[in-house]
Amino acid sequence: MANKKIIPLTDTEIKTAKPREKEYTLSDGNGLQLVIKTDGRKVWEVRYTIDGKAKQTTAGSYPTVSLKDARKKRDELKAKVSIGVDPIQEKKEIKAIIKLEEEKVEALENMQFHKIVYEWLSTLKSAEVTATKRKRAFERDIFPHFCKYDENHIITSSKQFGEIKHGELLKIITEKGKATAETANRLFVDCNRLWTYAVSHEYTDLNITLRIDKSVVPKGEKTNYAKITDEKILGELLRAIDGYKGDGGVIVKNVLRFVSLLPLRADNLCKLKWDSVDFEKAIITIPRSEMKVKNKNLPDFTLPLPRQAVAILKEIQEVTGWGAWVFHGSRNMKNHVNKVSASRALGRMGFNDEVNGRKQTLHSFRGTFASLARTYHKEHGATFETMEAVLDHQEGNKVVRAYTHKADYTEQMRELLQWWADYLDGVKKALN
């Protein structure tokens, strides 16, 4: 039987073709046909045979692809088949190549210096203030050497992490050291941690900081916080605090009175909440997650309250007891007091003269306690471990800490802190 002659399609025939209960095809000849879907869509298909196998592929939809364009696509496809190229396989290979190129581009983008820095920073567990300082140090001192910015100073790209040379990094560190050796040394230490992280995550094969001789890295001189330990000057300080009427008023005054008795870290002091205070047991408890050392294996930080500290809390409770914070802001009462306010108050009272041993900051009260508690060890008889427990100084040795982290020094601290409060009362009263 002779093959039925196929009459080429016309635009009118295509336009007027209506959907049926089942999809059907309209043939144009030489393998091109239009499939009429049940939902009314009209899809071009091209049939061909290669290596003895019948195949078909789509060539777009009508009317996006016109009859003329569909025939052109069919002819191009048939031409490829005639030279042994399978259009379907070719399309798969092209897609694979495009995907590979996209993955390469994405990989290169992810290997940019600034992206790896931000990723590393996000993994660090440190106090908010420390994290902010570290981030700013990288953005201020290192990023400008390896990053490109737009007109709004937003990073558009940066150098590939693995392409950075140790000489480049050393130059940045040494230049910074000319201005401030301590900052330069801290940058070097952080860069070592960053490259260690990058090597372990296979962002680079080499920790370039290991190629830098540490002897050429600027060393910052370690300085201790200024603190008042002279009893005469300390008495003047305590009396000045009791009579304080400056900015921040009763809030700042009681922050300073309280920290002189309980040497909390400035952040824990200013963020102390009423739900941490137990008047019945005369103790405060601060969640471990809010302390400087956040080790989950360590218990929450507890500190007994001497009588004088309880009296201060009951006094300030009449002012701030309605809210969450023991010491709320002097202007924004819905937030905690700013630690800078207390240190500024000390300066205004005249305690900002380090040369003559008259400088005290909010943090300095910890040093004052530590120094004088050790000086008068025979008077109070507290052990070294008890004094360290008051300050929440955790043993650095992991083995030692594993045996000591459950030790309870509450009652020993209670005796020590009551001695300390009574001692300060005596210092305050002594005028000579």
pTM: 0.54
Residue 277 and residue 355 in one domain:
yes
CB atoms within 10 A of CB 248: 22
CATH number at residue 424: 1.10.443.10
**With the CA atoms of 392, 398, 403 and 407 taken in that order, what torsion angle do they form, in degrees rounded to the nearest 10?**
10
In a domain, 141, yes or no: yes
Measured distance CA(239)–CA(262) in Å, rounded: 17
Residue ranges in 243-306 assigned as alpha helix (H):
249-261, 266-270
Identify whether 1 is part of a domain: no
Q: How far is CA 305 from CA 208, 314, 362, in A?
A: 51, 12, 19
pLDDT per residue, tens digit, the chain (432 aa), is 445 678 898 989 999 999 999 999 999 988 899 999 999 999 999 999 888 888 888 888 999 999 999 999 999 888 888 888 888 888 887 777 767 666 555 655 678 898 888 888 888 876 676 788 888 989 999 999 999 888 888 888 888 888 899 999 999 988 888 888 888 888 999 999 999 988 988 888 899 999 888 787 777 555 566 888 899 999 999 999 999 998 888 999 999 999 999 999 989 999 999 999 999 999 999 998 888 888 888 899 999 999 999 999 999 999 999 999 999 987 888 889 888 888 899 989 998 888 888 889 888 999 999 999 999 999 999 999 999 999 998 764 444 444 445 568 889 999 999 999 999 999 998 865
Q: How far apart are CA 389 and CA 411, in angstroms?
A: 11
Neighbours of 178 (CB within 10 A): 9
Residues 274, 204 share a domain: no
State the Cα–Cα distance between residues 291 and 268, nearest whole angstrom: 7
Q: Answer with the one of 158, 184, 216 that is the final residue of a domain.
A: 216
Identity of the amino acid at 138? F
The reply to whether 124 falls in a domain is: yes
CATH code of residue 34: 3.30.160.390
- Same domain for 19 and 68: yes
Residue 162 is part of a domain; what is its CATH number? 1.10.150.130
Q: Do 139 and 85 fall into the same domain?
A: no
Same domain, 248 and 124: no
Same-domain pairing of 315 and 376: yes
Contact between 280 and 316 (Cβ < 8 Å): no
420 touches 371 (CB < 8 A):
no
| Inside any domain, residue 108 | no
Would 226 be classed as within a structural domain?
no
For residue 279, being part of any structural domain is answered with yes
Q: Give the Cα separation of 145 and 174 in Å (integer).
A: 14
Q: How many domains does the chain contain in total?
A: 3
Can you tell me the distance from the alpha carbon of 191 to that of 113, in angstroms, rounded to the nearest whole number? 12
Domain that holds residue 123: 113-216
184 and 240 housed in the same domain: no
The answer to whether position 107 is within a domain reads: no
- Cβ atoms < 10 Å from Cβ of 197: 18
3 domain residue, yes or no: no
Same domain, 322 and 236: yes
